[in-house]
């Protein structure tokens, strides 16, 4: 949920932080895959 708040806060700087959002999304995918593997 904190990620949603971050998107709202950085909405104005979305163009500038676009690469950061992609990196964060990649990290989330890796975390999700690791979490799924743990199950």
- Give me 27's structure tokens: 């990290």
- Identify the pLDDT of residue 27: 83
- Identify the pLDDT of residue 9: 60
Count: domains in the chain: 1
- Identify the pLDDT of residue 19: 77
- Identify the pLDDT of residue 25: 81
Residue range(s) defining the domain that contains residue 30: 2-38
- Identify the pLDDT of residue 2: 55
What is the C-alpha separation between 32 and 36, in angstroms, rounded? Answer: 6
Give me the tens of pLDDT residue by residue for the chain, a chain 39 residues long: 555 555 566 566 666 667 787 788 888 888 888 888 888
**pTM of the predicted protein model:** 0.40
Smallest CA-to-CA distance from 31 within 12, 9, 10, 3 is with 3
């Amino acid at each position: 949920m904190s990620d949603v708040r971050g998107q709202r806060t950085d909405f104005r700087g979305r163009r500038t932080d676009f690469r950061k959002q992609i990196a964060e999304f990649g990290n989330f995918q890796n975390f999700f895959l690791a979490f799924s593997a743990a199950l």
